[in-house]
Amino acid sequence: MEIKEAITRAKNNDQKAFNFLLDNFWDAVYGYQIKRVQNENDAEDITIQTFSKAFDRIETFDDSYKFKTWLITISKNIHIDLLRKEKNSISQIMSNDDKSVYQILDESPTPEDKLITDQHLAKLLRDIKKLKPHYQEIINLRYFQELSYKEISVQLKEPINNVKVKLLRAKKLLAEIIQSN
């Protein structure tokens, strides 16, 4: 399969085309991010977000550009957004004579927040049960058991890229279920 054919097939929601594109461009996007963030976990998370966003919006891809360039641009923008969020979550350092004061945003949940979170979790679990069993399993392993991709790969006896694609697909399907409610 060629890149252009894979893009065309991906625009028609062909799972094999998505896998082909992921396999072909994963290293390029991950390599780009590892140089920027210098942290394997962050680079992997941003790379997954990149493919998730790209695959969700594949129909907007313009064939006059290179697919790799499009992915790198998405990846760069995701990283910039994360940096902005990080910067906004902590206030600036204020100096008063020789004493430095750090004002940190208090993000600890209130009792009301905890109640709302519990209600949302119960609803989320009901929505997860609507997924096919293999999608339920992969979400459980990643988000509830907090296993790494490598650990999930070993447990499911599948290549790590398949695990990433399945998880990406499971999250997309779950988002569709949540939005439809």
What is the pTM assigned to this prediction? 0.54
Average pLDDT over residues 11-18: 91
Question: What domains lie within the chain, and their CATH numbers?
Answer: 3-89 (1.10.1740.10), 108-180 (1.10.10.10)
* 3-state SS track over the chain: CCHHHHHHHHHCCCHHHHHHHHHHHHHHHHHHHHHHHCCHHHHHHHHHHHHHHHHHCHHHCCCCCCHHHHHHHHHHHHHHHHHHHHHHHECCCEEECCEEECCECCCCCCHHHHHHHHHHHHHHHHHHCCCCHHHHHHHHHHHHCCCCHHHHHHHHCCCHHHHHHHHHHHHHHHHHHHHHC
pLDDT at 94 over 70: no
pLDDT in tens, 151-164: 999 999 988 888 98
